[in-house]
Amino acid sequence: MKTTELKQVSPKFSIRQNLVSLAFATVIGLGVMSSPVAAQQGEAPKPAVVVEPVTTQVVEEERIFAGRTEAISRVDLIARVGGFLEPLKFKEGQSVKKGDVLFVIRQDPYQFAVEQAQANLESAQAQVDLAKLDFDRKQRLVDRDTVAVSELDVARANLKEAEAARSLREADLELAKLDLSYTEILAPTDGIIGSATFKEGAYVTAASGTLATVTSMDPIRVTFPVPQDLIIRSQRNNYESTENLVLRIRLSDGEFYEHEGRLEFLEATANPGTDTVTARAQFPNPDRMLFDRQLVDVVASPKDAEPQLVISQAAMLLDQEGSFVLVVNDKGEVEQKRITIGEQVSGLVIVRSGLEEGDQVITSGIQKVRPGQVVDARLAGQS
């Protein structure tokens, strides 16, 4: 039977072995304990933001106003002499040209008056001729001392009286001719004639009122109210002139009228209730697409507008000092820049000053960053 031998372990060896084990355990323990701490003490990730470059664009700002068409000329036809109407010379609602005969008042009495006045004038002319002969004869006799000078004076007076009577008869003839001309009522302008108040056989006078109305249709005027602040801005930009302003009409079906208009004038008096000024524009209307007193939308926009610096509305920020944006510079750092803005159109803001074309403004992630911070910037639309 074998006896197990116990070996005596050297103290030096035991101490050395324990030290090695302790060091190994310490290294492992430190490694396990230090890994999450290291992760916590490392650099934090950069905040991600979306940027857009400042661009130059032509921004056409449209203004829409509620307008109403208005005939430039609307003339009521009235009788200037009395009489019975002949058959109408037009169809109600038809187009008429300036000078067209529309109504005729029976002319017989006025034609007779003209002939009578003509006869009276011829009689007066005969009296003038007779008085002139008598005056010439008395003049010769006075020169020969055959008759007294007083007889020449009487002849001279008779001649002047005859000439005055002739002038009166000439005036009567002109008046009779004028009355005769009034028996034909003419179209005062091109346009559309409405319904006739009186028909054939009716007796009319100047007191009868309107016989019919002629409304001019081409061109046609459109009136619309404009806020005073917009007028001031337009005057500063010289948009009130015809050359720098485009006026269009949008009809009730949503389509634009094919002809552009031009601004005629602004009323001198503002409406105190609405703080607006009435503008009047003129549009061609050759096809009669527009009617008098029709409701339309007037769309005004600047013509040949200059390119301007613009940014997205999402990039603009406001505080007590005004407008500003956050910009990412070449080093990836966030900078704050104060800007002066203009109009805001279709999601864009016109920048008057404070930025340059190509500057990268932050449009998304603004709430996560502050000036001086380094960020991870990506262009809008990039993944």
> Does 108-182 match 64-71+222-302 at the fold level?
no
Torsion of CA 315, 319, 321, 326, to 10 degrees: -30
* Res 53 pLDDT > 70: yes
Contacts of 79-82 spanning 24+ positions with Cβ under 8 A:
79/103, 79/105, 79/182, 79/185, 79/204, 79/205, 79/206, 79/208, 79/211, 80/182, 80/206, 81/105, 81/110, 81/179, 81/182, 81/183, 81/205, 81/206, 82/203, 82/204, 82/205, 82/206
pLDDT at 252: 85
Q: Taking a C-beta distance cutoff of 8 angstroms, is the pair 211, 77 a contact?
A: yes
60 band by pLDDT with thresholds 50, 70 and 90:
low
For the record, the structure tokens of 383 come out as 């993944």
* Res 4 pLDDT > 80: no
More confident: 127 or 24: 127
pLDDT at 234: 62
Architecture of domain 64-71+222-302: Beta Barrel (2.40)
Question: Using alpha carbons only, what angle is made at residue 365 by residues 364 and 366, rounded to the nearest 5 degrees?
Answer: 95
Q: Taking a C-beta distance cutoff of 8 angstroms, is the pair 249, 297 a contact?
A: yes
pLDDT at 343: 76
Average pLDDT in the chain:
82
145 band by pLDDT with thresholds 50, 70 and 90:
confident
Domain-wise residue ranges, the chain: 49-59+307-379, 64-71+222-302, 108-182
pLDDT at 117: 95
Q: What is the mean pLDDT of residues 98-123?
A: 94
User: pLDDT by residue (tens digit) across 288-341?
Assistant: 888 888 899 998 877 766 788 888 888 899 888 899 999 999 888 999 999 988
* Res 281 pLDDT > 60: yes
Name the strand (E) or helix (H) holding 248: strand 245-250
For the record, the structure tokens of 19 come out as 């030290």
Q: Taking a C-beta distance cutoff of 8 angstroms, is the pair 72, 220 a contact?
A: yes
Architecture of domain 49-59+307-379: Beta Barrel (2.40)
Name the strand (E) or helix (H) holding 340: strand 340-345
User: pLDDT by residue (tens digit) across 95-104?
Assistant: 999 999 999 9
CATH of domain 108-182: 1.10.287.470
pLDDT at 376: 87
User: pLDDT by residue (tens digit) across 188-201?
Assistant: 988 999 999 999 99
pLDDT at 20: 42
pLDDT at 253: 85
